[in-house]
Structure 1
Amino acid sequence: MNDKVIIQFLGSGDAFGSGGRLQTCILISGQTQFLIDCGASSMISINQYKVDPNSISTIFLSHLHGDHAGGIPFFVLDAQLNRKRTQPLTIAGPPGTSDWYPRIMEASFPGSSIVERKFPVTIKELEPGKADTVNGISVTPFPVSHGATLTSLALRIGFQGKLITYSGDTEWTDSLFAAAHEAALFIAEAYFFEKKVRNHMDYMTLKEHWHELNAQRIIFTHMNNDMLDKLRGVDIETASDGKIVEI
Structure 2
Amino acid sequence: MKITILGSGDAFGSGGRFNTCLHVEAGTDRMLLDCGATSLVALNKAGIARNPISTLLFTHFHGDHFGGLPAFLLDAQFLSRRSETLTIAGPVGVEHRALHALEADFPGSSSNRWRFPISFVEVTPEAPATLAGFSVEAFPMVHDERAGPCQGYRLARDGKIFAFSGDTAWTQALIPLAAGADALLVECYTYDQVLTNHLDYRSLAAHRGELATPRIILTHMSPAMLAHEAPLPEERAFDGMVITP
TM-score range, shorter chain: over 0.9
Go from structure 1 to structure 2 and tell me whether the alpha carbon gap of 1:160 and 1:231 turns closer, same or farther (over 3 Å shift): farther
Bigger mean CA deviation after superposition, 173-182 or 140-149: 140-149
Residue equivalent to 2:133: 136
Report how far residue 133 of structure 1 moved. 1.8
How large is the Cα RMSD of the aligned pairs? Answer: 1.2
Aligned match of 1:230: 228
**2 CA distance for matches of 1:152 and 1:207?**
22
Kept in 2, the 8 Å contact 1:129–1:143? The answer is no
- 2:158 paired residue among 151, 160, 165: 160
CA distance in 2, matches of 1:92, 1:27: 15
Q: Would you say 1:23 and 2:19 are equivalent positions?
A: yes
Rounded Cα–Cα distance in structure 1 between residues aligned with 2:58 and 2:156: 16
Aligned mate of 2:8, from 2, 5, 12? 12
State the Cα deviation string for residues 79-98 of structure 1 (Å, max 9, x = none): 11111111111111111112
Residues paired across the two proteins, number = 243
Structure 2: tracts of 5 or more residues without a match: none
Q: Which runs of 5+ in 1 are unaligned?
A: none
Higher deviation after alignment, 148-157 or 9-18: 148-157
Summarize the Cα distance change of 1:204–1:129 in structure 2 as closer, same or farther, 3 Å threshold.
farther
In 2: Cα distance, 1:34 partner to 1:232 partner: 34
How far apart, in 2, do the equivalents of 1:153 and 1:66 lie?
15
Over residues 143-198 of structure 1, what are the superposed CA-to-partner deviations in whole Å (9 max), with x where a residue is unaligned? Answer: 11112423100111112321111001000000111111010110000000111011
1:31-58 alpha-carbon deviations (Å, 9 max, x no partner): 2111110000000000001011111111
Q: Is the 8 A contact 2:31 2:132 kept in 1?
A: no
Q: Which moved more, 1:190-199 or 1:130-139?
A: 130-139
1:191-206 mapped onto 2 (5 Å cutoff): 191-206=189-204
Could you state the TM-score of these two structures normalised by the residue count of structure 1? 0.95
Determine which of 56, 65, 68 is the counterpart of 1:68.
65
> Where do 1:116-131 residues align within 5 Å?
116-131=113-128
1:197-235 Cα shifts (integer Å, max 9, x gaps): 111001111111222211121111000101000033423
